[in-house]
Structures are given as structure tokens and as C-alpha cells.
Amino acid sequence: MKIMDHVELYKSEDYKELFENKKQFECPYSEEEVKKIEEYTKTEEYKEKNFARKALTINPAKACQPLGALLCALGFKDTLPFVQGSQGCVAYFRSHLSRHFKEPVPAVSTSMTEDAAVFGGLSNMIEGLENAYALYKPKMFAISTTCMTEVIGDDLNAFIKKAKQQGVIPKGIPTPYANTPSFTGSHINGYDVMLRGILNYMTTGLKASQTERINIIPGFDTYSGNYREIKRLLRLMDVPYILLADISDSLDAPNYGDYEMYSGGTPLGDVVDSINSTATVALQKYSTIKTGELIKEVWRQPFVNVPYPVGIKNTDLFLDVISQLSGKPIPDEIIEERGRVVDAMIDSYAYIHGKRFALIGDPDLLLGLISFILELGGIPVHIVCTNGDEDFEKEAYALLKTEPLFGSEGKVYIKKDMWHLRSLLFTEPVDLLIGNSYCKALWKDTGIPLIRVGFPIFDRHHMHRYPIIGYAGALNLLTLMVNTVLDELDRQTKDSPSFDVIR
């Protein structure tokens, strides 16, 4: 029996009839009326109305706080993410990450329902911790919350103490927690408060005694290749380090036939020892704000934010900071690698120079991409950041001003969504769009080629395995960008004399 893929299945007469019949319920308007409205949404008049809306968000480029907390928790060895909330919420977080990484994502839900909303979630917490410990034997629980828990005001600290008093979990097992309401902030905030919660819990009462190691915090980063690239560069520089919240093997482990829980992650002993490091370097400013406050004010440790090391300039700065903090020189092998990437940029410069870009994503990623596009002679035009704030807006404009020739057209839109971006793409078209898989709908509507960068990436495989940071990441991004341009050039010239083999 041949099992048909949906691509072919939906072409069959039965499905054509099914979809046609559904229209009377889903869209009781004629095709002419639908086409008329569609064309109106492409106008300047509609754009003004679109940007005037305040009570509605349409396809925001962000996820909710607990998803970020879950990703952070997966970066620690022998740790089970534990969510005080409904089953459906946790299924969403797990499926979102699983579809991006194409890997199983372990997490526990306390399965709160209507009765918990009325009477509180204590019994759910007690039973959930007891069952999870009996089944999965974690060495740490990383506990976060969902909307329901936050609205009814569950006291996580009291609930956890109760569970330990009743003996359902060992009294000595680490149980850091973070309040992560979905109705405020985004995934980068959830990542931040979970990381702060873990570091605070594991180091409370300890007195620092300085070692030679440097802490590195990647931030909310869903590229397993980025973590490996950081470790590779630090090994080449012979710099001792602790990589905090390392998800590289947790969500990109070798497959030997059997699934192994708790593969990879920062060892818990290293988490305890991180308070003794020489300094902490964070690669993402906006997903480490609360964590930075802990490290500076409580640990009394130098905390350095460097721009997300996308492109040549930002990677140079990252390596310079590491060299200064560690006293280790940057080896010739890395310098030669930099030179090869610069050479590649020169080779491809003519195809990127003058190209107009629209970008949508998280704050730190956008700042890195803006910097790299400017290095390539591209023109960032529309910069949309749903979870950006006024600080990000100022920083993005300051970055654009560093290259007046290419940055002068750039406009930054914070707290806007993909439907806002759609209006911009129709009223002020660009050559290339950079964003996650949800931007596929924008490509379908506008025809603007999409370069998939960010989170989530569902409809392409293995892209998270390739770094986008460091010099190797710059080469990967350059290859992705220029080949997208060339693919589009071939499509545009396939019926003309300019359909050339050599580009």
C-alpha cells in the first residue's frame, strides 16, 4: 500500500472537493471579493490602518517565557525541566523545540486543570515531583510556571518546601525555580530568569575564590552549532572556560540506537564553580539582563556583554575580550580563518552590495545581522523586533549610523509583528527577507526571497547544526545569503539569454 504525502494527497479530487466545500464555512465571500480585499491590504492606506491597531497582535515574532525557561533548563546536566501548569502549554513548548531541533525534548507538566485553577496547584506539584523523580531520577529539577499558575498566585517556594518536607523528593536535590508568566515578556525573558534562578540557587552561601576560568553565557540560542563553535574557538586559544546552559548535546546528541535522557549539558559541579571564575562573558545582552545583575551585584564578578558575534567585527570584539580577560593571544589558526572568510566576502560582495533587506527576530540576533549586512554592503531597510524595547531601538539606530552609506534607510519597529512587516514589504519592497520559518507566509504573499535565520526553523532541516557566529558562522551566513540571491537570479533569468552557468 502506497502512503501518499500530503503534497500529492491534497491534489486528489476528494480533497479538492473537501476544501471547496469548507469555503462556505471558512470564507462566505466570493473569490472576487476576497481578491479585492487582498489587494487593498497591499496599499499605503491599509498600512496606516495596520500600524494604528493596538488591541490586536497578528503573528508576533516571539514565543512565551516558559519556552525560554525550558530551553535554559535543558542546558544543564541531569536536569529535568518541570513546569507547574497545564499539559497543553508544555506540549506546545516541547513540540516547538522538537520541530526545530528534530529531537525529543524531555519536560514534565503538572497537568493543572480547572480544579487546580480554583483550589490551587499544590497537589499537582506534590504528585508531579513525586512521579517525575521516581520515573526519571534527575539530579536537579528546574521549575517554571505558565499563565494559570501565575494568575492564581501559586507559591512555588512554599510548594517545593512542602514536597521536600513530605519526602516525595530528596531534601538535598536542587530545585531552582523561576516565575515565567506567558502573558508578559517573551522567551528571552524566560531564559534569563531561569538562568538566574539556577545560578542563584546553586551558589547561594558560597564565597568566591578566583580561578583562571571564564564563564560564557550564549543566551537564548537555538543553534547547536554555535555552542560547538564557541568551544572550538576557546580550545584553540587554550582558554579554560565554563559554558553555562550548554544545549549542544542535549538537543543534538549522537544517535546510537537508544534514547538517552540527560545527555550533555553543563555539569552541575561546574555551575557551582562558576562563581569562582575570573569573569562572565554574555553573548546576548537582552536575554541575560537579570542574570547579569546577579553576577555583578551578588557574585561581585566582572560581567561583560559583547555584541552577538555575528560577522567579522563582532567576532573580532568577542575574541579580543576573551584574549584580554584570559591573557591568551589569538592564535594564527584563527587569524588565518578570519582571512579566508574576508576573502570569501570579497568574492561575493558584488551580489550583496546594494541589496535591500528586511529583518525580523530577537534583539541580539538582529543587531548581529545588521552589523554583518553592513559589512557586506547590504542595506537594512525594515528591522522588526516584536520583543524589542526602547534600549534596543536606540542601539539599532546607533549601529545603522556607523555606516551612513548603507544604514541611512534603516527603520526600526519595536513591538510590531509579521502582519506589520507584510504591509512594509508591499509598500516599500526589498530584495531579501531574513527571518524564521513563519516568514514563509510573507514569501508566499510578496515573492521576496526568504533567508531562514533565527527560531523556529521548522521547514528546513539541520540548519541549527551550522554555526552563524564566529568566522565559521560568518561564512555560513554569507553562503546562505549569496546563494539565495543566485537562486533567485536563476529563477528570474531561466527564460532569458542571461541564464548563465557562471555566476
Residue numbers annotated as active site? 147, 151
Which residues, in sequence order, are CB contacts of 184 under 8 Å at separation 6+?
Answer: 65
Task: Say if residue 456 is preceded by a cis peptide, omega within 30 of 0.
Answer: yes
**What residue type is 302 in one-letter code?**
P
Cell of 112: 493543572
Q: How far is CA 467 from CA 227, 237, 454, in A?
A: 8, 18, 11
HSE value, Cβ hemisphere, 13 Å, CA-based, for 44: 1
Residues 6+ positions from 427 with CB-CB distance below 8 Å: 42, 43, 44, 47
Total residue length of the chain: 503
Which amino acid type is present at position 104? P
**Quick one: which of 144, 260, 129 has its CA closest to 198?**
144
Cell numbers at residue 499, please?
Answer: 541564464
Q: What is the maximum span of the chain, computed from C-alpha positions, in angstroms?
A: 79
Parallel/antiparallel/unpaired status of strands 356-360 and 303-305 = unpaired
> CB neighbours of 41 closer than 8 A, spacing ≥ 6?
50, 422, 423, 426
Q: For cell 531561569, what's the residue? A: 194
Distance, CA of 252 to chain centre: 16
Quick check: helix, strand or coil at residue 143?
A: strand
Cα gap 229→477, rounded to integer Å: 14
Q: Are 237 and 304 in contact (CB under 8 A)?
A: no
Contact (Cβ atoms closer than 8 angstroms) between residue 393 and residue 415: no
Whether 244 and 283 have beta carbons less than 8 Å apart is answered as no
